[in-house]
Chains A and B, each alone.
Chain A
Amino acid sequence: MNREKDIIGFACAYTPLPLIHAAGFAPYRILPNVDCPDQAGRLMHDNLCPHVKRVLDRAMSGTIPELKGMVFMNSCDSMRRLYDAWKAVKPDMNSVLVDLPPVATHASIGFFRDELERLSRTIEQWGGKAIDDASLARSIGLYNRVSSLFTALRGKAGRSELMGGSTALQEAYNRASTSPPEEGIASLEAILDEGADIKEGEPGVPVYLFGNVLPEPEAFALFESCGAHIVSDDLCTGSRLFAAMETGGGDILLALARGILGRPSCARTFSAERPGGLGDDVAEGAINAGARGVIGYTAKFCDPYIARMPGVWDALKKEGIPFLLLEGDCTLRSIGQQRTRIEAFIEMLR
């Protein structure tokens, strides 16, 4: 990646990347799929989210780039505890916890807007440029461009024309989440310029994939080798991170807050007017994508998903959509053990 810019780390798809970029920093996602020793257990219980523990493992083992600071989102209990533990293992590093409302009401969007303003002041103190409306609008524009390129790339993957299939798509997500948007755009345009990869033989079974943290490209290769064709995804290490947002006129921080809280949501964000809506959303996503089945992948011990999963089962059952739920530690070493279950599920869908 471009090392001309100082880097700010993040670990959650709700992180306001345009704000970090507008301050002159390169946002860099600390992904959990890097080999390093398990050490987080010294501070955290075994039953804590493996994503959070792997991110902390990386900090403890020094397998992260030199960071100017780390931005945490208060998206769930585990993320809040990650912030606490990070401060203990990296006491000299800049870090900030941004509060994140669980619902997107008028008042909570305003609250989140103020949190974004606090974040912008904080990262300015870390040596960033003063963020003005024009620079923030430019950064939002760049990320919207990344989003639209990913939409095109997903379309290509959905038509089975993307060289490398969903594995390549995930590699692109990982690259884009660890690079400044300018690099992400160049890389995505290059991929889109590549010729179509028309495969011969029987196409895979169309499957909708949802869940939280699954950045391991080889996991997607595993799905495909089991006969699945991922036609659409809703993962926080996938499509959810790069969702386009409107800026419009007026208060741009408010627009950013509204855009982030209004994008396709992780289970931790919901509508009080539509409780249990996650199940309906997954079913709708699967139907719209023309999927014959749904695979859910969640990191173990993820309370927001654990609690909502019965509702997802229920909604998919009502629509007659078969569902396979996998739990793991965000890496291939656990998902590889699920091969037989994935193969049996795909066989059932044929």
Chain B
Amino acid sequence: MMKAYFTDMEAGIVKAISEGNSSHRKLYTLELARLGKRLYSGADSIAWCGITAPFDLLNAMGVTSCFVEFIGAMLALTGSVGPFIEETDHIGYSADACSYHRSVSGAAIRGMMPAPNFLIGTTNPCSGGLAVLENLARRFERELFVLHIPQDDSAGNVRFLADQMREMAAFVSRITGRALDDTALRKSVENSNRACGVIKEIFELAGRVPSPVASRDLSNFGIVMPLFFGSGQAIAIAEAYRDEFTKRIDAGADGKPGRKFRLLWIQNRIQFRHGLEKMLEEEYGASIISDELNDITWDPIDPENPFEGFARRAISIPFNGTIERRIGHLKKLAWQYRIDGAINPCNWGCRQGTGARGLMENGLREIGVPVLNLEVDCVDSRKFAEGQMRTRLEAFMEMLDGREPLRG
């Protein structure tokens, strides 16, 4: 099913592009389809990973790697997630768990997840994600390597994580039989740095007033792009986005007359199809122009000494560490993008995110940015009550209408 889905998706997009119907979003989706196809091809070396694994390192070692939550999001997008989540109910998985992880576990039980060659667990962002990788290692009877991401970037912590990543590279070499090629690694790091440089430009353009960004443009962008790091495709996708936004700005407007509210989305988007973003844009002129993970929080990585850079990058992800740091990052985004209001979906089952929702709300309120906390399961569409969400969003937008915008 998944292999056919990704193959059809790739064919459809290739056809559209060949007919002159290309776009930044199509290029991005095409690479997603190709990644999915490779994962299910049965031909590549596969690694299931945590979100903060060094994908450019794995790409340099010839491994097709992906964080497991990607599969949950894809199942949600295709509207087929329900039976997979139910599968986990039958084996004793609590309904209180994160639906990203339940759906992935259900997919593995149903044989819908390709057996990996190995797994890389990461302690950031969450306890649940690491537990799922442990379970998958047991189910697939494959070796698991765990990266402990420390809470801050003090010198000892960076060294500790960099050493773990070196050890991880040796682990991958042992399993795949392929040694780490210094030239390939250097090229991969250079590609990552170039892609990140262009992505920074994208985010700078997104912050313009008016913003060239529509709500769906950068959905999942910051969390998915690292999967392509190290490859030329990451640069190509980023350049397509940059060029599209530049074109929109050069056209003299954001292309959507009447747009006025600039929104920040906290944590992850709702992954299944729904009408809320369209409603916000069409009825309130509101666009989600920034997502919490749409940021480059690390410096360019030294191609001659990449492991310390990989470590600093993993530590810098805003979900890591204490909430003070995360709130500081949200405030930075709010100022940078001149945000009118923030929306936190409070994904049901996400302890690392919802556990601090009150503190995040208070933190943004300190700088005059109101936060709407929703109650959404971002993956399980069966629990989605769109009418209730619409009512709450409508009230929030009406409240924003009477407020002064944030001034930099």
Contacts and interface: CB of A to CB of B under 8 A. Distances in A.
Interface in B321-374: 322-324, 346, 348-349, 351-352, 354-359, 362
Given A47-B354, A77-B355, A276-B135, A306 B146 contact: no
Contacts of A270: 134
Contact of A310 (B91, B98, B359): B91
A108 interface: yes
Contacts of B351: 47-49, 76-78, 81, 301, 303
A111 B147 CA distance: 13
A275 B137 contact: yes
A84 B324 contact: yes
Given A74-B151, A78-B351, A97-B151, A310 B92 contact: yes
A308 B356 contact: no
A28 interface: no
Interface stretch (A61-69, A99-107, A189-197): A99-107
B88 interface: yes
Contacts of A101: 148
A161 interface: no
A77 B356 CA distance: 10
A111 B145 contact: no
Contact of B359 (A43, A76, A102): A43
Interface string A291-334: 00000000011011011111111100000000001010000000
Contact of A83 (B105, B134, B322): B322
B359 A88 contact: yes
B270 to A, nearest CB: 17
Given A81-B356, A84-B359, A107-B160, A310 B135 contact: yes
B355 A48 contact: yes
Contacts of A310: 88, 91-93, 105, 135
Nearest to A114: B156
A41 to B, nearest CB: 8
Given A77-B355, A99-B151, A310-B88, A303 B93 contact: no
Contacts of B94: 300, 306, 309, 327
A272 interface: yes
B132 interface: yes
A145 interface: no
Contacts of A272: 121, 134, 137, 143-146
Interface string A44-82: 110111001000000000000000000000101110110
Contact of B352 (A77, A83, A88, A308): A77
A47 to B, nearest CB: 6
B318 interface: no
B355 A78 contact: yes
Contacts of A42: 358
B138 A107 contact: no
Max chain B CB contacts within 10 Å: which of A45, A78, A108, A308?
A45
A85 interface: yes
Given A85-B356, A308-B131, A47 B93 contact: no
A44 B353 CA distance: 10
Contacts of B352: 77, 80-81
Given A97-B151, A303-B97, A102 B355 contact: no
Interface in A243-265: none
Nearest to A323: B92
Nearest to A49: B351
A268 interface: yes
Contacts of B132: 307
Interface string A17-51: 00000000000000000000000001111011100
Contacts of B156: 114
Contacts of B121: 102, 272
Contact of B322 (A80, A301, A303): A80
A236 B171 CA distance: 33
B126 interface: yes
Contact of A47 (B96, B135, B322): B96
Given A81-B352, A114-B156, A44 B358 contact: yes
B240 interface: no
Contacts of A47: 96, 348-349, 351, 354
B23 interface: no
A99 B101 CA distance: 24
Contact of A303 (B126, B138, B146): B126
A147 to B, nearest CB: 27
Max chain A CB contacts within 10 Å: which of B131, B132, B352?
B131
Nearest to B93: A310
Contacts of A311: 135, 138
A275 B134 contact: yes
B88 to A, nearest CB: 7
Contacts of B103: none
B130 interface: yes
B127 interface: yes
B167 interface: yes
B36 interface: no
A74 B156 CA distance: 17
Nearest to B373: A45
Nearest to B149: A99
A10 B358 CA distance: 23
Nearest to A274: B138
Contact of A325 (B92, B146, B167, B358): B92
Interface string A227-238: 000000000000
A304 B131 contact: yes
Given A84-B356, A114-B156, A276-B135, A77 B127 contact: yes
A305 to B, nearest CB: 9
11 contacts: A43-B357, A80-B355, A97-B151, A107-B164, A275-B134, A275-B135, A303-B127, A306-B97, A307-B101, A311-B135, A312-B92
Interface of B: 88, 91-94, 96-98, 101, 105, 121, 123, 126-128, 130-132, 134-135, 137-138, 143-146, 148, 150-151, 156, 160, 163-164, 167, 322-324, 346, 348-349, 351-352, 354-359, 362
Would you list the 9 A-B pairs with minimal beta carbon distance, nearest first? A81-B355, A276-B138, A307-B131, A45-B354, A43-B358, A84-B323, A275-B137, A77-B352, A77-B351
Interface of A: 42-45, 47-49, 52, 74, 76-78, 80-81, 83-85, 87-88, 97, 99, 101-103, 107-108, 111, 114, 267-268, 270, 272, 275-276, 300-301, 303-304, 306-314, 325, 327
Given A310-B105, A311-B135, 12 more contacts: A49-B351, A102-B146, A111-B150, A275-B137, A300-B96, A306-B96, A306-B97, A306-B131, A307-B131, A307-B132, A308-B131, A325-B92
